[in-house]
Structure 1
Amino acid sequence: MEYRVANGVLLQVVPTDKFKNMKIMINLTSPIDHRNFAKLALLAELLENASAKYRSEMAVSRKLSAMYGASYGVSVLRYGNQHTLQIKMTYPNDQYLPDDHDLTAEVFAFLKEMIERPLVVAGQFEQAYFKIHQTNMINYLESIVDNKEYEGTLQLQKLYYPNDRDHGDFLLGSASEIRKITSEELLRYYRQVLAQAEVTVLVGGHVDSGKILAEVRRFKTFKDRPITSYPLLVVPDPVQQVAIKRQVITGSQSVLSLGYQLPIYFGSQDYFAAMIFNQLFGGSTRSLLFTNVREKASLAYDIHSNYSSLFGMVTVQAGIDGQNEKRVTQLIHEQLDHLAQGDFTDELLMGIKRSLINQHRSESDHLGALMDNEYLQHITKFSISDNDWENQVRLVNRSQLKAVATQLKLRAIVALNSGEVSHANH
C-alpha cells in the first residue's frame, strides 16, 4: 500500500504477520554526485550517534535499550545513479508488549528527534562531537589501504569508470575531502538534503496503516519538494581497450581483480539468466572458478565473482601468489569460455538453481531482507511475486546462459602484487 504524504514524499506499508518485529526504513535520495559523497558519509555518522535530546552515543544507546532493545542505524548507499541516506529502525511489535505499550509512537518520536533535531550549537553541529566523528572517518578511510581485497575493489571501480567520478569514486569520499568539511557547511548541506531529497518511508510488519500515516505526517521536514527525474541504471562510457593497473604491495598474498561489462540489468528479460550465470561462473562454492582455479589448480586462496545488476557489471576477485597472475588470468578466461560454449553439467545447473531458490526462501524469513527487496522493486519499478521469481529461475536454460557469457566484455584489471612469494594451500 502506497500513500503520497506530500510531493516527493511517499509512504509504503508492507503488511505481514510473519514477524514479531517491526521495521522502518527511511530513504532520502538524490541524483548521484561525487561532490557530496564525503559530506553525506560524515552526516550519516553524526545522525546515528547523537541529537539535541540524546547528546551522546551512550544516551542514544540507553534510549534504544529502554525501547525493548530497538536497533537504529544510518548508512549511505549507491543504487545505480541514486545516492541514498538510509535510516533504519527495528523494534518489537506493540501486540507482543505488556500493558498495551504504544512503542510505535515512541519509535517515531525517536526518529523525528534524530532526524529533525541534530546536535547543533550556534548554527553548526556541536564542535567537539563533529571533530570526534570527523577524525574517526579520516582514520577509517586512511586504514582501508591495509585491507587489500577492499583496496583492490576500490581501485578496480576507479579504473572501470575512467572520467566518471560519480561511479568511480569511493562512496564514503576520501580522507582529504572529509578533512576539508566544516561543521557549519555540513549543517547547511543537511538542511538542503531535508528540503530537497526525495523521501520514501517503508514500514513493514503487523501494521495499522492509518496510524503509520499519521506518524509520518508529524515530520515537519517531510513537506513538498521538487521531484528530479533521472535514469537509475548505470551505462558506462565505451572504452577502446582494457585498462590495467599493477601495484606492488607488502604482505605475502596478492589480489587480482577483473571488471567486466555485462549489459543486462535488474528486471530485464535476461536478468535471471545473468544471475544464474554469475553463480555458475564464480558466485558460489560450486562455481567453475572456485572448483577449477582454487580447488583443482590450487592457484587461489579464494576466488569469487559478483554481479551488480544496477550497474551491468561482473567482477572477479582472487587472492593469489603474484607470480601466478598470468596463469590465473588465463584460467579465469577459460572458465568464461566454458560457459560461453555451454560446457557445464546439468547436475551443476540444477544444483545452482536449487541453492538460489532455497536462499530466496530463507531470505523471506527475515524482515530486513523483505524490506530491502521491496525498496529495490520500488525504485526499479520491477515487481515480481515469490512464485514467479522461482519459476523464472527454473526456466533459465543452457542456451540463455551461453548467450549471457558471450556478452561479457573485460574493461579493467587491477593486480596488487606482493613482493613476497608464498604458496597457495587449503
Structure 2
Amino acid sequence: MHFRIKDGVTLDLLPTKQFKTIGIKVDFVAPLQATAITARALLAQVLETSTARYPTQTALARELSRLYGASFGISVLKLGTNHVIRLTCSLVDEQYLDHFTAKQPLFEQGMALLREVLFAPLLPNGQFEPTTFTQQRQNLLTAIKSLDDDKQYLANRRLQELLFTGQPTQAMSALGDTHVLNDLSATDILQTYHDMLAHDAVHVAVVGDVTEARAKAAVADWPLADRAIGDTDPYYRWQLRDQVQNGDDEAPVVQAKLNLAYQLPIYRDDDDFLAAVVFNAAFGGTPLSLLFTNVREKASLAYYASSSYNPFTGTLGVQTGIQAENQQRVMAIIAEQLAAVQRGELSEKLLAEVKASLLNARLAALDSPQRRLTGLLNTQLTHLHEPLESWQEKLAAISVADVSRVAQQVTLQATYCLHGGVQGAK
C-alpha cells in the first residue's frame, strides 16, 4: 500500500500478521554531492545520540528500554546517484505482551520517538550542543579510520578510487572523508540538517499488524512541507575506459587482498537485469559458483573468492584473499572462468542450482521485516515492482545463452592488490 503524504513525502505500508514486531523505516534521500556526503554522515551521528527531550545517550537508551526493548538507529548509504540517511525502529507488537498497560500502543510511541529525533533535536541556543557535536565528530573520525583496519574493506575502497578516478561521489565512502570531517563545524551541520528536512525526498515505510488509518495518522503531524523532487535517474552510468587501471600497496598483511572491478552495464531497469543476477551468482556470488569452486577449491589459490553485482552503478566486483606471489595465476584463472561463461560453457546443473539458491534467498527475505522494508526504497527509486510469481517465472526461463550474453558485456576496468611486500606481488 503506497500513499502520498505531501509532494515528495510518501508512506508505504505492508500490513501483515506474520511478525510479532512492527518495523519502521524512514529514508531521507538526496542526490549524491561530494561536498555533502561527510556532513550528512556526521548529521546522522549527531541525531542518533540525543534529542531535546532525551539529551543524553543514556536517556535515549532508557526510553528505548521503556518501550519494551525497542531498537533504534540511524545509518547512511549510497545507492546509485543518491545518498540516504536512514532511520530504523523495531518495536514489539503489544498484543503479544501479557501485561501491557500503556494508553498509547507501541507503534504510535515509536513513531513519536522518531518525530522527536527528527524534529526536536538537542539545539541549545539554536545550535547543536557543542560537547555532543565534538564527541560525535570524533566518533565518526574513529569509525572511518577503523574501517581501514578491515583490509578487505580497505582494498575495495582503494579499488573504487581507481575505478572512479575524477568521480568523487562514487569513489568516496558513504561515511565521507576525514579531511572534510575535520573542517566541519556545528553551524555546517545545522545547515545540512535544515537542508535535509526541507529538500530531501522522504520515504516512510511500516511493516507489521498496523492499519492504514493508524499509519497515516502517525505521520500526519510530522512537520514536513511539500518539496520539489525531480524524477532523476537513480543509476550511475559511466563510460568504458580504454585502459585497465592497476594499483597496489604494501601493508602488514599475511594474506594479500586482490580485488578486480569490471563494467557490467546492465541496470535494475534493463530487460537483462535478472539474467545479470543469475550470472553473478554462477560466476562468484554463491558457494556454488565458478570462482569458489575453481579458484578456491580446485586450484587452492585463494582463501576466499567471490563476486558482487551492483545494478545501480553497472559494476561487477571480484574479491579474493591470496598469497601475493600467486597474483598472476589467480587473475588468469578468474579470466578463464569469465571467458568460459562468455562462450556459453556453463552446465545446466550449475544453472539450476544457482537459480534454486536465488529463489530460496528471495523467499527467505519475505521472512525478514527489515529486508522487506529495505526493498521498498529500491521500488520507490526505480519505480519497479516485480510480484513474486512473475519474478519466479522470469527466473525459471533464464537459459545458459542468457547468462552468456550478459557475461559478454563484462569488461575488466581496474585491479588492486594490498600485499605484504612479497616480491612478485606487483
Is TM more than 0.5 here? yes
1:303 aligns with one of 305, 309, 318: 305
CA contact (8 A) 1:250 1:420 kept: no
Matches within 5 A, 1:256-271: 256-271=258-273
1:166-202 Cα shifts (integer Å, max 9, x gaps): 1111121121211111112211210111111111111
Query: C-alpha distance in 1, partners of 2:18/2:260?
Result: 41
Whether 2:63 is the aligned partner of 1:60: answer no
AA aligned to 1:108 is M
Whether 2:285 is the aligned partner of 1:249: answer no
Query: C-alpha distance in 1, partners of 2:236/2:220?
Result: 34
Q: Secondary structure at the match of 2:260?
A: strand
Query: C-alpha distance in 2, partners of 1:319/1:393?
Result: 31
CA contact (8 A) 2:12 2:376 kept: no
Greater mean alpha carbon deviation, residues 307-316 or residues 365-374: 365-374
**What is the deviation of 1:272?**
1.1
AA aligned to 1:298 is S
CA contact (8 A) 2:43 2:192 kept: no
AA aligned to 1:60 is L
Q: 1:369 — aligned with what?
A: 371
Query: C-alpha distance in 1, partners of 2:133/2:317?
Result: 37
Q: 2:79 — aligned with what?
A: 79
2:158 aligns with one of 155, 158, 163: 155
1:189 aligns with one of 170, 189, 192: 192
Query: C-alpha distance in 2, partners of 1:278/1:288?
Result: 10
Percent of residue pairs identical: 32
Gaps of 5+ in 1: 422-426
Q: 2:237 — aligned with what?
A: 235
Q: Secondary structure at the match of 2:408?
A: helix
**What is the deviation of 1:101?**
4.8
Query: C-alpha distance in 2, partners of 1:124/1:15?
Result: 39
AA aligned to 2:56 is S
Q: 2:341 — aligned with what?
A: 339
CA contact (8 A) 1:252 1:419 kept: no
1:79-102 Cα shifts (integer Å, max 9, x gaps): 111111111111122433434751
Query: C-alpha distance in 2, partners of 1:68/1:151?
Result: 38
Q: 1:379 — aligned with what?
A: 381
Whether 2:23 is the aligned partner of 1:4: answer no
Query: C-alpha distance in 1, partners of 2:140/2:22?
Result: 31
Query: C-alpha distance in 2, partners of 1:200/1:286?
Result: 37
Whether 2:86 is the aligned partner of 1:93: answer no
AA aligned to 1:181 is L
Query: C-alpha distance in 2, partners of 1:206/1:386?
Result: 21
Query: C-alpha distance in 1, partners of 2:205/2:73?
Result: 15
1:93-119 Cα shifts (integer Å, max 9, x gaps): 243343475112211111111111111
Whether 2:40 is the aligned partner of 1:40: answer yes
Greater mean alpha carbon deviation, residues 341-350 or residues 191-200: 341-350
Query: C-alpha distance in 2, partners of 1:14/1:354?
Result: 26
AA aligned to 1:30 is A
AA aligned to 1:312 is G
**What is the deviation of 1:69?**
1.2
CA contact (8 A) 2:22 2:209 kept: yes
CA contact (8 A) 1:94 1:101 kept: no
Greater mean alpha carbon deviation, residues 293-302 or residues 387-396: 387-396
1:294-346 Cα shifts (integer Å, max 9, x gaps): 11111111111001111111000111111111111111000001111222222
CA contact (8 A) 2:253 2:419 kept: no
AA aligned to 1:152 is A
Q: Secondary structure at the match of 1:317?
A: strand
Query: C-alpha distance in 1, partners of 2:238/2:218?
Result: 41
Gaps of 5+ in 2: none
Q: Secondary structure at the match of 2:329?
A: helix
**What is the deviation of 1:125?**
1.0
Q: Secondary structure at the match of 1:301?
A: strand
AA aligned to 1:147 is D
CA contact (8 A) 2:159 2:414 kept: yes
TM-score, normalisation: structure 1: 0.96
**What is the deviation of 1:281?**
0.5
Query: C-alpha distance in 2, partners of 1:228/1:34?
Result: 19
Query: C-alpha distance in 2, partners of 1:417/1:27?
Result: 38
2:167 aligns with one of 152, 164, 168: 164
**What is the deviation of 1:127?**
0.7
1:234-287 Cα shifts (integer Å, max 9, x gaps): 111331211111212212111111100111111421111110110111111111
**After the TM superposition, which segments of 4 or more aligned residues of structure 1 sit over 4 Å from their partners?**
none
TM-score, normalisation: structure 2: 0.96
CA contact (8 A) 1:52 1:120 kept: yes
Query: C-alpha distance in 1, partners of 2:385/2:183?
Result: 42
Report the aligned-residue RMSD: 1.4
CA contact (8 A) 1:7 1:225 kept: yes
1:218 aligns with one of 213, 218, 221: 221
Query: C-alpha distance in 1, partners of 2:152/2:401?
Result: 34
Q: Secondary structure at the match of 1:162?
A: coil
Q: 1:284 — aligned with what?
A: 286
Q: Secondary structure at the match of 2:309?
A: strand
Q: 1:424 — aligned with what?
A: none
Q: 2:21 — aligned with what?
A: 21
Count matched residues.
420
CA contact (8 A) 1:123 1:184 kept: no
